[in-house]
Structure 1
Amino acid sequence: MKTKANRDIWSVMKIVILVFVALAILYPLSTIVIRSVTTEAGEVTGKNFLKFFTKPYYLDVLSNTMFVAGVTTLFSVVLGVGMAYALTRYDIRIKRILNICIILSLMSPPFIGAYSWILLFGRSGFVTTKALEWFGWVLPTIYGKWGIVSVFVCKMFPYVYLFTSGALGSIDSSLEEAAENLGSTKGYRLFHVTLPLVSPSILAGAVMVFMSAVSDFGTPMLIGENYKVLSTLVYEQYMSEMGTSSNFASAVSMIVIALCLILLLLQRWYLRRRNYNMTSLRPPQPIRLSVGKKILLLLPVLAVVVFSLLPQIVVIVTSFKNCNGPYFVAGWGLESYRTIFTRMIRGIKNTYFFSLIALVMMVMIGSITAYLSVRKRSALTTAVDLSLMVPYVIPGAVMGLALIIAFNRSPFFWAGTAFIMILCYTVRKIPYTVRSASCFLQQMELCVEEASINLGVSPARTFFKITLPLMLPGVVSGAILSWIETINELSSSVLLYTGKTITMSVAIYNEVARNSFGTAAAMATILTISAIIMLIVFNHVSKGKVSIV
């Protein structure tokens, strides 16, 4: 009877999660696939893809996307690996503070960085005007492809840094010592022993950077001007003033999805060709440096950290600057905050309300999915687990478009409602919760649960009374990261929102677009402070057992 009850309760859980995945992920994505190969009249056609690959304008957009994502990935890898090597291999006292600062630079959306660079290096930016006024210098424009790349690198190199620093701190130092004993130089050991050993981690960070650069919408929309990329093309095709083209937008979305999937397959192919297994019993010890060498090492490291934190610093400072329309004027005050709390309070309320409801759904679905994938492993649970990861690697604009197309007709007429916003946030950000909870669950002994069931406690009661409290640190840690990502989400929100469902990220984007920099800075500061608070909570709850990415 106990075995049957155990099987029944978890069979029901599997069905519930499967229904959620089918309705919230597979069904919307299937509509994208169908729309991409059909006309407005519903006839099967390949004209949408033919249009994309035969018109020079769209091929230029594809080329622009690959250029921005490729160059961003290259610079992020060089910067991230260099920073990781410096901070893990050398004894630096402020290493922990620098690590926190780098993580903080990762906790704000890229479009806030774009907004900050506009304030500093835009046509009327502070640095631009002062350089011309004091020295007669005309600085290069921040707008266009190199501006996008600059913002992306400052925002995204922490992905590579965090993955690589974790790997560098746990490799077997005896391998490097063996190379040294064989007469190899330090440079040779670095490029032929150390970096190849951590190449899976470097590659994982590079893949995240590439996909983030492909999917980001706010940065190229704010500072790209006439430099179009695929994410902005999807938005423009669907929101075109000349009439929407959801079928062609769906075809473009499929091309974006294909790019991301090809990259993931290449990553798996590369890793399968080699064996990276090793023991971590003798991790490398930090090298002590003389004062002079330590200063030489710290100067470029501090420069990178300060430069990456500059967007948050600029946002917070300018939020207290007095404004006259689109211009900052002399004096300081709280006028921008008064404005947002009187005129834009709906966006603030919606952001926290939507994110909290989504958080509850992520915790419930994520914890059950993690349990099923670890404790009740089968082909079905593995498929469900992988399906929940799909929205993570799909650009937000594509997921937003899929939800609009799928739920803009009977029987699910949810487009324009708060529910579709919450649903999108849930499916887009739940992977953090699932991965973190699974990590903790894999470290727990199964005998504790078996003992509870053998003593007559039902499987459901065992899960909620024994298992869930034990895996709670992992669930909470992942949920906090999911919440931070949710309040910063723009690429899907900008497609899904209405006047009643506007969020802070969309409001910031709209304010920057209309040159209302003071109110944009005030709302961005609220988002930044929210992320900092939750990051502190994350560090306290996880106690270093869960990675930030």
Structure 2
Amino acid sequence: MTTLTGTAGPAMRRARGSVRPRRDGLTGVSLALWIACAFFVFVPLGAILVLAVGGSQFGMLLEGDVVEAATNSLVSAVASALLAVLIGAGVAILFDRTDLPGRRPLRLLALTPLLMPPFVGAIAWLGVAGPTSPVNLWWRETFGAPLWSIYGADGVIFLLTVHSYPLAMIIVAAALRRVPSDLEQAARIAGASPARALFAVTLPLLRPALLSSFLLIAVGNLADFGIPSIIGLPERFVTLATLVYRYLQSGTVDDPLAVV
């Protein structure tokens, strides 16, 4: 054994020393991805920093209209993301964990907001709940005031929720398919009610999917321009996206790119 080990040791060391890193096609793909990410991500961010530092406009971040727009953006993005995750997760659980009749057509119908651009949906909802919509005109003639006007913060949050809950539904439904239904059945056999099995077994396992969908939706709604511009601006509900557009279009702001 000693002789065998002694002869094999140097051979194995020589074999290890002769190993060279492989340079196959994946290395080129990795290098191309690094270059693409650097170009499409770091170059624009670097340009923004150069413009901001060169214009010395950091003080504008504390001005009233910027703080108000940031607050409005944060409130609308977080509120709509919470509502979208709540609705999307509930719909996904109904479709994947119950015997709801007509689940397939209902699933397709629930996903249709993804097929419509948000600003088109905002225009469509103006015909339903706008100040001059037939419903509000009839309500005003009957009761003296409109039923509900979609303009303003509540309308922005409502439409952001409508157009983003299908994303939460898709993410949660994919996670549900990975959760073994045997765990829920075992909880039911042990005496748990359907609601208790849902909250004690299913939802804790869906926590990563719920969190990821919330973050994805909140970031997307934070950057949305169409809905806040059509629904929010008439009631002076300004978000960061609409404020940026106003600065770019304004002729009274010096060096608008640095300001933005």
TM-score, with length taken from structure 2: 0.80
Name the CA shift for 1:140/1:92 in 2 (closer, same or farther; >3 Å): closer
Task: Find the residue that maps to 2:222 and give its secondary structure.
Answer: helix
Match of 2:248 among 213, 219, 238: 238
Name the CA shift for 1:25/1:78 in 2 (closer, same or farther; >3 Å): closer
Task: Choose 1 or 2 for highest CA Rg.
Answer: 2
What is the aligned-residue identity percentage? 27
Matched, 1:39 2:59: no
Aligned length: 237
Answer whether contact 2:89 2:168 (CA < 8 A) is retained. Answer: yes
Give the aligned partner of residue 152 of structure 1. 160
The AA in structure 2 aligned to 1:31 is A
Matched, 1:117 2:125: yes
The AA in structure 2 aligned to 1:235 is Y
Q: 1:168 Cα deviation (Å)?
A: 2.2
The AA in structure 1 aligned to 2:109 is C
Give the aligned partner of residue 3 of structure 2. none
Task: Find the residue that maps to 2:54 and give its secondary structure.
Answer: coil
- CA distance, structure 2, for counterparts of residue 229 and residue 169 of structure 1: 37
The AA in structure 1 aligned to 2:237 is Y
Give the aligned partner of residue 28 of structure 1. 44
Name the CA shift for 1:173/1:133 in 2 (closer, same or farther; >3 Å): same
Matched, 1:228 2:243: no
Give the aligned partner of residue 63 of structure 1. 71
The AA in structure 2 aligned to 1:126 is P
The AA in structure 2 aligned to 1:245 is P
The AA in structure 1 aligned to 2:182 is S
Answer whether contact 2:228 2:242 (CA < 8 A) is retained. Answer: yes
Superposed counterparts of 1:54-203, under 5 Å = 55-133=63-141, 136-203=144-211
Task: Find the residue that maps to 1:118 and give its secondary structure.
Answer: helix
Name the CA shift for 1:180/1:94 in 2 (closer, same or farther; >3 Å): closer
The AA in structure 1 aligned to 2:44 is P
Q: 1:23 Cα deviation (Å)?
A: 3.2
Q: 1:8 Cα deviation (Å)?
A: 7.1
Name the CA shift for 1:122/1:247 in 2 (closer, same or farther; >3 Å): same
Answer whether contact 2:152 2:232 (CA < 8 A) is retained. Answer: yes
The AA in structure 2 aligned to 1:229 is T
The AA in structure 2 aligned to 1:213 is N
Give the aligned partner of residue 432 of structure 1. none
Greater relative contact order, per chain length (Cα 8 Å cut-off, separation 6+) = 2
Name the CA shift for 1:196/1:58 in 2 (closer, same or farther; >3 Å): same
- CA distance, structure 1, for counterparts of residue 159 and residue 94 of structure 2: 23
Name the CA shift for 1:180/1:144 in 2 (closer, same or farther; >3 Å): same
Q: 1:133 Cα deviation (Å)?
A: 4.1
Name the CA shift for 1:190/1:19 in 2 (closer, same or farther; >3 Å): closer
Q: 1:15 Cα deviation (Å)?
A: 5.1
Matched, 1:51 2:67: no
- CA distance, structure 2, for counterparts of residue 98 and residue 11 of structure 1: 46
Task: Find the residue that maps to 1:60 and give its secondary structure.
Answer: helix
Name the CA shift for 1:235/1:134 in 2 (closer, same or farther; >3 Å): same
Match of 2:259 among 248, 259, 262: 248
